[in-house]
Structure 1
Amino acid sequence: MGFFCSIYHPAGLTLISHRVKSLTRGMAIHGIFGSTGSAIGPILATTAAAIISWRSAYAFLGIFNGLLAISTFMAIPYRKRSGMNETEFENHEETTNKPALILYFLTNALLGMAYYGFTTFMPIHFAENTSSILPNLTANMKAGIFPTMVFVAGIGGQLVGARIGERFHKPTALIFIIAANIPVFLIMGYTSDLLLILSGIMLGIAYFSNQPIGNTLIAEFTHSQNRGLGYGISFFLSFGIGSLAAGVSGIIAENMGVAAVFPAMGILLIPSVIFAFFMRKAARSA
């Protein structure tokens, strides 16, 4: 299941980069639906599991994706690549800026590690540290509701990222966006109740605002013919290498407490800012 699900990102984003003229805005809209799915998916799955069984949750999602595949095949017009001139594709690039691309991959790998670190332990962190907020709710319900609020805030982050990416130099903007995440991670680790919820919402906005800019930068740094490979490597590093953070975060949580995971993820982003700084220099020298 993981193998087939992972195919979507490089294929889908390559398709968007070749067919959408306002690329940063297109990536933001794509991210909005992704954040919406991240927020709604667990609710639908747990509802199906509670009403019928856990198997029904998988069956429901399988049927939904089958219908989605059919609608995608019917709705998106097919273009035979061999019958088209490369310049007919949107966001056409004839060279690959390898130094800038490699530095972006390193930047994104650390962002992916921070993402897996905070999403893995966010539910239990909210459940344990929001006792005065909605006290009638069980810890399990809080572990579902409050992280959902963070993903919903991520929708706003996608819009903010698109607006920033369209108005400012994207590599420079990415530096400041990553840097803005660091204090928010620190705040999440040392607050509780209302301040914790507010900092979680801030994190949703700050973190997800990097995505439309980052996905646009891959398109700008890669040759049009190699763009799918560029997205594939990026998501391999973000999801694959990034997922190692879940294990590291588990060690931190076991020895120092769950709250310590969030400042650790903030510290992890410091080298990400440094890589992004050198990426900006490589982008300008091209």
Structure 2
Amino acid sequence: MSLDSNDRSIAGFTMAGHALVHWFETSIPIFLVVWLAEFDVSVTLVGFVVALGYAPFGIGALPGGVLADRYGPKRLILLCLLGMSLAFVTLAAASILESIYAVAVGLLLWGVAASIYHPAGLALISTGVEERGTVFAWHGIAGNFGIALGPFVAATLLIVLEWPVVAALLAVPGFVAVAYGLSANFDATAAVADDVDAGPDEALSLPEFLANSRALFASAFAIVFVLVTFEGLYYRGVLTYLPEIMTGLPALEGLELFPTLEQYDIDPGFYVYVGLLVVGMAGQYAGGKLTDRVPAARGLAALFAVLAALALAFVPVVDRGLGALLALCGVLGFVLFAIQPFYQNAVAVYTPADSRGLSYGYTYLGEFGLGATSIAIGGFLLGEAGLATFFVALAGFALVGATLSAALALGLDRLFDRTDADSSADAKA
């Protein structure tokens, strides 16, 4: 079924926003090495500065969701795009001040601005789009496009330009997207007009926020939140450490790069990793289309099970040569991103329309905030226990997600409905 004009308008707007969030996000590590040399500071200090940008990215999702419900998702997405672009202009100006602390300010501004996007963007799709699964698919593909393209563009430009110029150039697409968004015209509640009681400008007081939060976590959303957190633990652990794991693998030793690329010390494993991200675009599309045909909980249970199997298979497979490694990484990239439209759709299935921004705020607090703890867990396991233990831990995360998803598929959510009904009856009595 083709998208109507409202669906197409929302799809274009949110795809641009999603691509740019990850365009900026994945370009930041490319600058890290340059900042070490530019400011002559320790790795510890630069790592702390970079963490200032990434920490609000997850933590700020919850207030971002609250603001999306209060002011409307379009305003929040425009604010996000403008804020991220201005943050990278601030980074460029840091070279004039010759201060790593000015870089810290720019990254902090980026993290705060970027945290708004996911709850606002997904809330907009879930309430404004009729063909939700299809748009979730294209939205995910756009995110993967930004993930893969951001570091490539940054690294390529740094070959011929100074880093402040590169930072400023990376901000240009953000400003273009703001101009596009201002001209975009769509109905943000077209898909749920009859279900939305509160207007976007209705203030959400602290007691209302607490009441809405309690209502969410007294429903099946509590299970969705936990399983999304475990997906985040798997996702962040894989994407953080896979490039390092790929470096020096015996299966990649015979893989040669073009001489013009080798002089920049680019490891072949990096290209395998980027290939995984590119395959993820197909996974996003397939997952999004399947959400229109497969119940969210059932699809999540199956995909979590596959992720667990892939984690357990990684160490044995890497010893079987280049072909086996590439095949495993291709399947991993496909499934790792195919699962995302399913949990995004699960949030829409198990939450009321008028608190969708809050719901996605909590979702991405779990995905990017709590999920980021796997960076510390993974670093410890790789350093102290070895590669096999690291992947066993990832498999454990996926199995928890599979178990919770299977419980939802078997009707566990009906227990919450019964509890709500009993509570309502007690209140009336």
Superposed, 1:143-154 pairs within 5 Å as: 143-154=269-280
Aligned residue for 2:354? 225
The answer to whether the 8 A contact 2:230-2:371 is kept is yes
Out of 117, 123, 132, the residue aligned to residue 237 of structure 2 is 117
Q: Whole-Å Cα distance in 2 between the matches of residues 178 and 17 of structure 1?
A: 23
SS, match of residue 140 in structure 1: coil
Q: Whole-Å Cα distance in 1 between the matches of residues 325 and 224 of structure 2?
A: 31
Structural RMSD (CA): 2.4
Q: Whole-Å Cα distance in 2 between the matches of residues 128 and 3 of structure 1?
A: 36
Superposed, 1:176-195 pairs within 5 Å as: 176-192=302-318, 193-195=322-324
1:71-129 residue CA offsets vs partner (Å, 9 max, x unmatched): 112124476x8xxx93187xxxxx96943211011000000011110101111122221
Aligned residue for 1:26? 135
Greater relative contact order (Cα < 8 A, sep 6+) = 1
Q: Which has more radius of gyration?
A: 2
Shift in CA distance, 225/143, structure 1 to aligned 2, threshold 3 Å: same
The answer to whether the 8 A contact 2:283-2:335 is kept is yes
- Residue 165 of structure 1 and its aligned partner are, at CA, apart by 1.8
Q: Whole-Å Cα distance in 2 between the matches of residues 78 and 276 of structure 1?
A: 32
- Residue 283 of structure 1 and its aligned partner are, at CA, apart by 3.6
Q: Which moved more, 1:158-167 or 1:227-236?
A: 158-167
Q: Which moved more, 1:219-228 or 1:270-279?
A: 270-279
The answer to whether the 8 A contact 1:189-1:263 is kept is no
Normalised by the length of structure 2, the TM-score is 0.60
Shift in CA distance, 254/57, structure 1 to aligned 2, threshold 3 Å: farther
- Residue 256 of structure 1 and its aligned partner are, at CA, apart by 2.9
Aligned residue for 2:173? 64
SS, match of residue 268 in structure 2: helix
Superposed, 1:92-171 pairs within 5 Å as: 98-129=218-249, 130-136=251-257, 138=262, 140-171=266-297
- Residue 178 of structure 1 and its aligned partner are, at CA, apart by 0.8
Residue 412 of structure 2 is aligned to residue 282 of structure 1: yes
Q: Which moved more, 1:195-204 or 1:240-249?
A: 195-204
The answer to whether the 8 A contact 2:232-2:371 is kept is yes
Residue 194 of structure 2 is aligned to residue 87 of structure 1: yes
Residue-pair matches, total? 278
Shift in CA distance, 60/186, structure 1 to aligned 2, threshold 3 Å: farther
Superposed, 1:37-56 pairs within 5 Å as: 37-56=146-165
The answer to whether the 8 A contact 2:221-2:350 is kept is yes
Q: What is the letter of the counterpart of residue 280 of structure 2?
A: G
Q: Whole-Å Cα distance in 2 between the matches of residues 88 and 238 of structure 1?
A: 27
Q: Whole-Å Cα distance in 2 between the matches of residues 238 and 65 of structure 1?
A: 24
Q: Whole-Å Cα distance in 2 between the matches of residues 158 and 166 of structure 1?
A: 13
The answer to whether the 8 A contact 1:24-1:216 is kept is yes
Q: Whole-Å Cα distance in 1 between the matches of residues 120 and 349 of structure 2?
A: 17
Residue 144 of structure 2 is aligned to residue 35 of structure 1: yes
1:115-161 residue CA offsets vs partner (Å, 9 max, x unmatched): 11010111112222143452346563324311111111111111221
Out of 363, 385, 390, the residue aligned to residue 234 of structure 1 is 363
Normalised by the length of structure 1, the TM-score is 0.88
Structure 1 residues without counterparts, runs of 5 or longer: 90-94
SS, match of residue 190 in structure 1: helix
Q: Whole-Å Cα distance in 1 between the matches of residues 112 and 193 of structure 2?
A: 30
Shift in CA distance, 100/57, structure 1 to aligned 2, threshold 3 Å: farther
Q: Which moved more, 1:21-30 or 1:122-131?
A: 122-131
Percent identity reads 24
Aligned residue for 1:264? 393
- Residue 49 of structure 1 and its aligned partner are, at CA, apart by 1.8
SS, match of residue 275 in structure 1: helix
